[in-house]
Amino acid sequence: MEQTVQQRMALWLASSSIDEETKDSIRSLSESEEAITDAFYKDLEFGTGGLRGIMGAGSNRINKYTIGKATQGLSNYLKKCYPQEEISVAIAHDSRNNSATFAKVTAGVFAANGIKVYLFDELRPTPELSFAIRELNCQGGIVITASHNPKEYNGYKAYWNDGAQLIPPHDKNVIDEVNLIADFGDINFSGNEHLIVPIGKQIDEKYLSVVEQLIVNSDVIHRQKDLKIVFSSIHGTGITMVPQILARIGFTNVSVVEAQAEPNGNFPTVVYPNPEEKEAMSLAMAQAESLDADLVMATDPDTDRVGMGVKNHKGEFQLLNGNQTGVLILHYLLDQWKASGKLTDRNYIVKTIVTTELIDTIAASYGVDCFNTLTGFKWIADIIRKLEGSREFIAGGEESYGYMIGESVRDKDAVASCAIIAELVAFSKDQQKSLFDNLIAIYQKYGYYREALISITKPGKSGAEEIQDIMKRLRAAPPASFAGANVTESIDYQSSEKKELSTGNITPINLPKSNVLQFVTADGSKISARPSGTEPKIKFYKSVKGTQASAEDFDVATERLENQLAEIKSNLQEFTS
């Protein structure tokens, strides 16, 4: 066993501040060196989504002590940043096991450090927490969630005063403060409980009112108010807000998947509570088919991601991927803003570097700037922060089923996304078209961009090392071609360099450093490699593009691009196997 693992474990067992129940859990791991190593080989760190990990005892686990330590470090940092001010934070939690308990632990530590806490009285969506921070003029906030991860996980998303997740230097500075805490006895777990103020209905009403104002075509909704919508919250927080907002904007025929309506951290009806997964959407899709619905939507446990399905050109229900949904949302908003005369040269949209470039193409056709950021909505929020007052943000999105509409919430917002998705489906129906017809028309007009994701799970310490090795090999001996097309450009966001292979010319990248590689081929394909910041995974994003001469050519064009994607997957096997 590695010495650092032994040392971390020994500190936990020797600490008088650790309760005996936790120590017994650590001792029970002693039969498995691998289990001990995974629990103690590192301290949890802020990734693209804050702290996230498996619940249990250990420095690399989510528990009251790692959460307490993170909160003490954040408290210390907030007091340094606001030395003469009354500091306040907002806290929310999702439906996961222990989320309510961890939220109370977090509130207790903040209060014990003299920080006022606005604590939601019940589970609430992550985007509402982001809204509450701004609405209540807080200096920060926390939501206890592991988003779409399996039931064994929980997490801790930290937010700054603008309602966005922490970015440098704040995230690194908080970690520095956390690392200065030498003993768990330095954590103030209790005291000043009078500083904890419950919040709920009043913030709900303000949040829903803001989302309601994002609707751009209420007349269409009025004409199509009986649109058949099926919604599932997949045992998460979506049940608290999504049916309400759909009713408020005028939809009267919303059918909830009752088997998944009750919040439950065991997620009993799914393997993986992620609307990106077909299996997680299966109950909702079956209900949509039985009702002959127009639209099916499902949100993840903390309601920042949404998956959707509609009937395709053959009349069959089909799930759309995150890129397709993002294209439809952003195209609709740009089109409606232009039709209403609201679109100006001050407007802009934002997407991430691994999201479809079809969005860039569409934005350019409307004369609207499309900024590209690193993965994570904290980077989209950073652009909004920098341009606030001088430019007007319309919307942003990423391929992993997250979208942000308007500036009031500074994180991905599935509540607002569900409202806009329902509106754009109603708009298509009002034109006597299907949403899928409109998607095909977009491909015909702007080019058929098609994407696919390879996600490889590598758990534990050995898995982390394997992921690092894959990235090292890609850098040391990058592929020369994909699907028969030569690589013409390589982009390394860790070294901040873009290299043209034919000339050797190197262009600097003006983005924060990140462990991401991209390869662009002569035929316009783009392949990206990125270790996840929130899960033990490495992800490969494949994007190809072609032409579609007519709506009737859609199936032929799809098969052609799918074959190309399959060949790229085969090319990647030497790095992933």
Residues 431-479 have pLDDT tens digits of 999 999 999 999 999 999 999 999 999 988 889 899 999 999 999 999 9
555-574 average pLDDT score: 96
pLDDT of residue 98: 98
Of the pLDDT bands very low, low, confident and very high (cuts 50, 70, 90), residue 120 is very high
The reported pLDDT for the residue numbered 28 is 92
| 242-257: average pLDDT | 98
Q: Could you tell me which residues come within 8 angstroms of residue 141 by beta carbon, excluding any fewer than 6 positions away?
A: 89, 90, 91, 92, 129, 130, 132, 133, 158, 159, 163
Catalytic status, residue 147:
yes
537 sits in which H/E element: strand 537-546
Does residue 49 register a pLDDT over 70? Answer: no
Closest listed residue to residue 452, CA positions, set 338, 307, 567: 567
Is residue 112 very low, low, confident or very high in pLDDT (cuts 50, 70, 90)? very high
535 neighbors 457 (Cβ within 8 angstroms): yes
Distance CA 251, CA 223 (A): 10
What is the β-pairing status of strands 347-352 and 317-320?
unpaired
Output the six-digit token pair for 388: 């606030």
Which pLDDT score, from 0 to 100, does residue 175 have? 85
- For 75-91, b/e burial (b = at least 16 CB within 10 A) is bbbbbeeeeeeebbbbb
Q: Which of 400, 367, 407, 355 is nearest to 383 (CA)?
A: 407
The amino acid sitting at 42 is K
Helix 358-365 × helix 435-446 angle, to 10°: 80
Mean pLDDT of 372-398: 96
Residues facing residue 391 across a β-bridge:
388
Mean pLDDT of 64-70: 95
The predicted structure's pLDDT at residue 196: 98
- Confidence category of residue 47, pLDDT binned at 50, 70, 90: low
**CB of 488 closer than 8 Å to CB of 499:** no
Among the listed residues 57, 66, 202, the one whose alpha carbon sits nearest the alpha carbon of residue 128? 202
Nearest to 416 by CA among 200, 249, 201, 166: 249
Write the CB contacts of 7 (distance below 8 Å, at least 6 apart in sequence): none
Q: Which of 75, 147, 232, 532 is catalytic?
A: 147
Helix intervals (H) in 64-98: 64-81
Q: Residue 577: is its pLDDT beyond 80?
A: no
Angstrom distance (rounded) from CA 55 to CA 57: 7
According to the CATH classification, is domain 46-199 in 3.40.50.300? no
What burial letters (b/e) apply to 135-144, b meaning 16+ CB within 10 Å?
Answer: bbebbbbbbb
pLDDT tens for each residue of 2-30:
889 999 999 999 999 999 999 999 999 87
- H helices then E strands: how many in the chain? 18, 23
Residues of the chain with CATH 3.30.530: 448-576
Residue 381 has pLDDT above 60, yes or no: yes
Q: Are 527 and 518 within 8 A, CB to CB? A: yes
pLDDT in tens, 325-340: 999 999 999 999 999 9
Mean predicted confidence (pLDDT) in 530-553: 92
Which DSSP symbol is given to 469? H
DSSP conformation class of 96: S
Determine the pLDDT at residue 488: 97
Number of residues assigned to the chain: 577
Separation of alpha carbons 565 and 563, rounded Å: 5
Q: Note whether 436 and 362 are within 8 A (CB).
A: no
Q: Is the pLDDT of residue 48 over 70?
A: no
For CATH 3.40.120.10, list the domain ranges present in the chain. 46-199, 207-446
pLDDT digit string, tens, across residues 190-232 = 999 999 999 999 999 999 999 999 999 999 999 999 999 999 9
pLDDT band of residue 536 (cuts 50, 70, 90) is confident
Q: What residues pair up with 541 in beta bridges, in sequence order?
A: 453, 528
Angle (CA) 501-503-507 rounded to 5° is 75
Which residues contact residue 81 at a Cβ distance below 8 angstroms, ignoring those fewer than 6 apart? 139
CA angle 278, 377, 104 (to 5 degrees): 85
C-alpha span between 450 and 122 (Å, rounded): 41
Measured between alpha carbons, how far is 437 from 237 in angstroms, rounded to an integer? 32
Is the predicted pLDDT of residue 420 greater than 60, yes or no?
yes
Looking at domain 448-576, which of 2.40.10, 3.90.1530, 3.30.460, 3.30.530 is its CATH number?
A: 3.30.530
Burial of 560 (0-12, 13-18, 19+ CB in 10 A): middle
207-446 belongs to CATH 3.40.120.10:
yes
**Pairwise CA distance, residues 155 & 61, whole Å:** 9
Cβ-proximal residues to 476 (8 Å cutoff; 6+ apart), any chain: none
Calculate the dihedral angle through the C-alpha atoms of 298, 303, 305, 307, rounding to the nearest 10 degrees: 0
Separation of alpha carbons 378 and 167, rounded Å: 7
**How is residue 1 written in tokens?**
């066993």
pLDDT recorded at residue 459: 87
CA-to-CA distance for 443 and 281, rounded, in angstroms? Answer: 25
Query: Rounded distance, CA 151 to CA 90, Å?
Result: 25
CB 91 within 8 A of CB 99: no
CB of 342 within 8 A of CB of 437?
no
Instruction: Please give the single-letter amino acid code of residue 15.
Output: S
Task: Give the gyration radius of the chain's Cα atoms.
Answer: 24
The amino acid at residue 194 is H
What percentage of the chain has pLDDT greater than the value 90?
92
